[in-house]
Structure 1
Amino acid sequence: MPVWLRALAPIVFGIAAIVVWEVLVIALGIKPFVLPAPSEIWSQFVARFPTIVQSAGITGLNALLGLVLGVVLAILAAVIAALLDAVDELTQPLVTALSVIPIAALAPVLYTMYGADQQTARVIIAALAVFVPVYVNTLRGLRQVQPVHRDLMRANAATGWQATRTVTLPGAVPYLFTGIRIASSLAVISALIAEYFGGPVNGLATAITSAISYSATSLAYAFVLGSVLLGLLFFVVALGLERLATRHGAPAS
C-alpha cells in the first residue's frame, strides 16, 4: 500500500466519523449537555484557544519532565540489570509493582507529601508511568546480542566497553525508542489523571472538571480536544525520533 494512502485512510475515516456525529446530534435532537455537536466543540475550541494552549502548556510540561525523568532512570536501571543478573532478579518484583500502582490512590498521597500547590506530584506520577515500558524494552534490547557477535568481539580482543559500544548499545536503540514511543502517551495520560485528584488549579484536566461543574459541556469537550492534540504531539515527536534513530538499524519489535 502506498505511503500516502496509508496516511490518507485514517484522515478520511476521522472526517467521516465527525460528519456522522454531527448529523446524528442534529437529526436526533440531542441536547448539548448530553452530547454537543462537533461544530459546537470546535467553536468553543477556537474561542478559548489561548486558554487551552496555556492549560496544555502546564500539562505538557509536567508530562515532558516526567517523561525525561522516567526515561533516564529506566535506562540506568536497565543497564545495571543487564550487567548484573542478581539486580535483575531483585528488581523484577519492584517493576511489576510499579506497573500496577493505582494513580488515583497515589496522587493524593504525593500531594500531601510535596504540597497541594506544587506540580511535583504530577511529574512523579508521569515518571512512574514512563519507567516500566522504557525499562522493560531497554533491558530486552540490551540482551539481544547474538552469541556469534560476542564471540567475534572476543576473537578480536575487544574490551568490555568496546563490545558494549559497538554491539550491545546499537542493538538496544530500537527497543529503547519503542519504549519511549509507548511511554510518550502514558506520560500525558498520567499527568492528566493526576490533575483530577488535587494539586494546583491549572492544567487541562482541571479545566475539564471546572467546565463540567458549570454544565459547559461543549467547553469541556474543547479542553478534551486539547488533551487529545497534546497526546498526539507527544506521540508524533516520539515516533519521529524513533524513525530517525532506527533508520539505519534493525527494526524495533
Structure 2
Amino acid sequence: MTQENGQLYIVATPIGNLDDISQRAIQTLGKVAWVAAEDTRHSGKLLSHLGLSARMLALHDHNEKQRASALLQKLQAGEDVALISDAGTPLISDPGYSLVRLCRDAGIKIVPIPGPCALIAALCCSGLPTDKFHFIGFLPAKSGQRQQVLQAIPAGVGTLICYETARRILDTLDDLVAVYGPERELALAKELTKTFEHFAFGTAADIKAWLTEDPARCQGEMVLMIAPSQPVDDEIPAEVQRTLKLLMAELPLKKAAALAAEIHDQKKNALYKLGLSWTGM
C-alpha cells in the first residue's frame, strides 16, 4: 500500500492582537503532527495561549535549507506540518521560501491558511493608492545601499511599502528625501493591532518631527509607505527641459535642477520632479 504524503499548511498568525487568529488556524495548529516555527519559544507562548500542545521544530534564516529537507521527509512519511512565523503571514519577509519550493517540487500539497499580514493591514488604512503597490520588504541597513535600492525601483509600480526597524527609521526618512525629494507623501504605521498602534501621515519631515517629539515613538515595529510620484507638469518649457537634460549629464540631479531653475527662473522642485521622472524614480 502506497504511503500518502502529508500536507504542508502555511498558517498566518497574529501580528499583535491574539484575537486576530482565525478559527481555521487554531484547528490546523491543533491537528498537525509538527509545527515549524521561526522561534519556538515565541510561538510556544502562542500555542499555550490557545491551549494547544504540538511538537515544534525551529525553522529560521540560518537553518532553513537543512531543516527543509528534514521536514520534507516527515511530509513524505505522511505527517502533516504547519509553518508559522513570529507574526503575520509566513514567507512575507520571513523564512519559508526554501521549504515551500522544495515541497512544491516534490509534489507535496501546500495549503494556505490566510490571516493577518502587516503590509496589507497598513496599506488599507494609509489613504494612499491601493490599486497598485510594490512591496520592498526590509531595506538595507546602510544608507548608501538603501538609496541604491530606492533609486532602482522603476516608475509606475504604485505605492511603495517597506518594513523598517525603529533604530533605522529616522535615517531611512532622510534617505527618502535624498532620493525622492522633500515633498513626497508618506504614511507610517506603527505597532499595528497593539496597544500603541498609530498612523502618521505627511512628508518625511512631518513624520520625523512626530517621531522625535517623543523618544518612545521611535520604538516598535513599523511599516513605511511611499506615495507614487505625481505626474510631471507638462507646462515646463522645452528650452528649460533641454537645459536640465544637459546639466544632468554633468551634475547630480539636485544640483542640475537648482541651476536650471536659477537660469530660467523656474521652480526648483518642479524641475527636480521632472528629472526624477526621466531617471525612472
TM bin (shorter chain): under 0.3
More helix per residue: 1 or 2?
1
Q: TM-score of the superposition, structure 1-length normalised?
A: 0.20
Q: Which has the higher contact order (CA 8 A, sep 6+)?
A: 1
Computing the radius of gyration over CA atoms, which structure comes out larger, 1 or 2?
A: 2
More strand per residue: 1 or 2?
2
